[in-house]
Amino acid sequence: MWGGAGIFVRLASNFKIQEMQIVFFRAFFSAIILAVIILFKNKSFLKISLKDIWLFAAAGIFSIVLFNFSYYKTMALTSLSVAAVLLYTAPIFVCVLSVILFCEKITLNKLIALIIAFLGCCFVSGVFSQSHRLTPTALIFGLLTGFGYSLYTIFSQILINKGYNSLTITFYTFLFAALGSIPFINISKTFSNIVATPLGIFVMLLMAVFNTVIPYLLYTAGLKGVPTSVAPIIATIEPVVATVVSVAVYKEPFGVTHFIGIVLVLLSVLVLNLRCRKNENKSEC
């Protein structure tokens, strides 16, 4: 689902919705949808400790706002596939932070899977060919994307360890993301523009549901079952989807290197899953 972000971003640009406005509306609509789900499912999920508010705020502002703005900006500066591979520098950041914060071990199979996955992303993006040009600005925003994405995994794992439900984590993360986006946009002008283009509202709602609420809930819930450093490696399926979208929808080039990249990404996921099935203790995966 994350791999389809490019469709929504490019549709939004057709309605003159800028990157930071996309960040705001995505977070705003997602928070509303999640609030409705929680009210119907279990109102107690809205309860959080005051001492943990800063964690939710940091997750919203640093991981969602920073990550999304940088990702959309990277998409505007380069191709969708290159933006996706720069996003997947995130597992490297997560592995390093997991060792520091959660005392996880960087086992041989994790390291192998990480290398295979990143190489796969490089092949998928076509960065080894001359068909894509990567400017320094695009590279900086791409690395910020990866770092921001890694922070969501880290903050979510901390909150899961504190006993919070995935609905609680996702709701407050996007609530603070929406609030954190407001200083960077002209709120009255933004709403005026979106109201003037009803189809733009529909696009943002679809993005909130299919590119935000559902995948973030699934990812956050998945952190309960695999080590922190493993989750983002498994999620490297995203650039494969992004490549398929870029080829099928936007007719971007696809060659042998892209195919090799897809195979490598799938192989890295297979390596992790086969090893994890052999170990009862998930920390040894």
Q: If pLDDT is split at 50, 70 and 90, which confidence band does 159 have?
A: very high
Q: Are 169 and 159 in contact (CB under 8 A)?
A: yes
Q: Domain limits at 213?
A: 2-284
Separation CA 173–CA 129 (nearest Å): 38
Instruction: List the alpha helices (DSSP H) in 60-165.
Output: 66-77, 80-87, 90-102, 108-125, 136-161
Q: Is the pTM of this model over 0.85?
A: no
pLDDT in tens, 239-267: 778 778 878 887 777 778 778 887 887 78
Q: Are 204 and 12 in contact (CB under 8 A)?
A: yes
Separation CA 27–CA 181 (nearest Å): 9
Residues 6+ apart with CB under 8 A from 44: none
Q: Total structural domains in the chain? A: 1
Place of tokens 């490598």: 264
Separation CA 92–CA 75 (nearest Å): 21
